[in-house]
Structure 1
Amino acid sequence: MRDYKSLAHTRWDCKYHIVFIPKRRRKVIYGNLRKFPEEIFHELARRKNCKILEGHLMSDHIHMCVSISPKYPVSHIASYLKEKCAIEIAKNVKGKQRNFSGEHFWARGYFVSTVGLDEDMVRRYIRDQEKNDANREQYDLDW
């Protein structure tokens, strides 16, 4: 049985696979910065009544499986997560004290796909990112 959520007049189960990349796809998500966005994303999602079901941080991109209420557009949630996370990174990791609105940590766009009935497959794909990336690099070297 699927886990449907409810609003006043709606029953829903809306899950999305979202991917962001840092500006210029730099490999900057490592060390101290690797654990930091995870905590921020979960807190920001809670503020918008969303839930991050699965997530994985690579050095140059982030994959997430997010359950989003139908009252919010996916673009709004993706923009909100990226914007507020960039501000928190500037404040807590880079040590900036003010003028956060100009921070550009993430690239402009994002990838989104509906999960639908393939939720287990998408969550497994996100979980196995390290392995998938290693296989791709091995394939690239075989050329």
Structure 2
Amino acid sequence: MGQEYRRTQTTVSLINYHFVFCPRYRRKVLISEVEKRFREILQRICEENDFIIVALEVMPEHVHLFLNSPPSISPSDIMAKVKGATSRQLRQEFQHLRHLPSLWTRSFFCSTAGNVSSETIARYIAEQKTRG
């Protein structure tokens, strides 16, 4: 899990975002088959948009996502793509989620790596399930 540098014809970039987002009403819906399917959909979205998942932890009532992004896309655009597609597909596929007008809240937390290394953030995310 080293640094993921991007290279285009004119740009070399290292843009990593740590996102945290929750289902509406912080419901504990991200379990078993829903969690598995969420991970699959997220992986496809990231591949389609040239995002690289550095670390991911799916808790029953929130998600920690640490990803590398091209410099041309904003954090709010990343979340719009991720939350829009996963909400639509999960609500279509799982009957018990259909009553929700949207799977996710409109808000999210976002930070950049700043003075903390990518490895530190990835380790923090990996340790989330072991906390009480």
**TM-score, reference length from structure 1:** 0.82
Is the helix fraction higher in 1 or 2? 1
> What SS class does the counterpart of residue 117 from structure 2 fall into?
helix
Change (3 A) 1:52 1:73: same
How many residues are aligned here? 129
Q: Percent identity?
A: 25
Instruction: Identify if the C-alpha distance between structure 1 residues 126 and 29 changes in structure 2 by more than 3 Å, giving closer, same or farther.
Output: same
* Residue identity opposite 2:111 in structure 1: S
How much does 1:3 deviate? 4.0
Q: Is the 8 A contact 2:3 2:118 kept in 1?
A: no
Unpaired runs of at least 5, structure 2: none
SS, match of residue 105 in structure 1: coil
Q: Secondary structure at the match of 1:89?
A: helix
CA RMSD of aligned residues (A): 2.1
Equivalent positions of 1:27-46 (< 5 A) are 27-46=28-47
Q: Which residue of 2 aligns with 1:14?
A: 15
Give the direction of change, closer, same or farther, for the CA distance of 1:109–1:29 in structure 2 (3 Å limit). Answer: same
Greater Cα radius of gyration, structure 1 or 2: 1
> Separation in 1 of the partners of 2:3 and 2:117?
12
2:117 corresponds to: 118
Q: Give 1:59 deviation, angstroms.
A: 0.7
Give CA-to-partner distance per residue, 1:53-87, whole Å, 9 cap, x none: 11011010000111010011111011110000001
Alpha-carbon shift at residue 8 of structure 1 (Å): 2.2
Counterparts of 1:1-143 in structure 2, within 5 Å, are 2-94=3-95, 103-116=101-114, 117-132=116-131, 134=132
Give the deviation of 1:2 after TM superposition: 4.6
Contact kept? 1:53, 1:66, Cα under 8 Å = yes
Once residues 107 and 92 of structure 1 are traced to their aligned partners in structure 2, the CA distance between those partners, rounded to angstroms, is 19
